[in-house]
Amino acid sequence: MRGPMHVLMISAACLVLAAPLSGGEHPGTEVFGSAGWGTWWDDEGATVGGVAAGGGIGRRLLPQFALEGEVIAFRGSRRYSGPAPVYRSRGVLATGNGLLYVFRGERTQVFVLLGAGVTHSTAETSFGDYRSSRSGSGFVANAGAGVKLFIRRNVSLRPEVRLAGCTAGSSLIEPFSAELRFSLGLGYHW
């Protein structure tokens, strides 16, 4: 009795997941790239501004829900007035995200997302001949919102905004605690 029940449950789950993907809507798999600008706050509240770029892949599991993984690289700097040191930072974020579509039109899909992953960053300070560089890794959680604007059936523009909370370990000079990023992406769907 236990064997047939498992087969029945697995078959039902496969049908539930496969049925929405067989409809006439937009294809279920997406590969995307994005570039944008971000501001990162360190543990003392000071800001570093810079660029961020990356990409990922996603799969729609239900008409209103998709999962995606992405990798984003960032680089920024902060200059102080006077003889204060220059502060630079660079790193990589790798996250898995869940997207919930709150509006799905023929050419427009509005989504909110929530995700988690890891980050690795390096902070560098230079003051005259003094140079210091430290790296750290940690946990990152992010939330955001965006829109997929379909310019063709398989191609979409993807503007979005993200807010991330980071822990990058105690080895950094000034570890990041938060990030706000605006980006524009391009997605290909099949």
* pLDDT tens-digit series, residues 78-129: 866 666 667 788 889 999 999 999 999 989 999 999 999 998 888 887 777 8
Judge whether residue 152 has pLDDT over 90: yes
**Is CATH 2.40.160.20 the right assignment for the domain spanning 24-189?**
yes
pLDDT higher than 60, residue 7 = no
Q: Which range is most confident: 1-5, 37-41, 152-156? A: 152-156
Comparing 2-6, 30-34, 62-66, which segment has the lowest mean pLDDT? 2-6
Paired tokens of 7:
């087969």
**What are 37-90's pLDDT values in tens digits?**
998 876 667 788 899 999 999 999 999 999 999 999 999 888 666 666 677 888
The two three-digit tokens of residue 168, written as one number: 């990058």
- Going by C-beta distance under 8 Å and a sequence separation of 6 or more, which residues neighbour residue 111? 66, 99, 100, 101, 102, 145, 146, 147, 148
Contacts 24+ apart (CB under 8 A), 158-166: 158/32, 158/34, 158/184, 158/185, 158/186, 158/187, 159/183, 159/184, 159/185, 160/34, 160/113, 160/185, 162/113, 164/93, 164/140, 165/140, 165/141, 166/119, 166/138, 166/139, 166/140
Whether 27 has a pLDDT exceeding 90, the answer reads: no
Domain ranges of the chain: 24-189
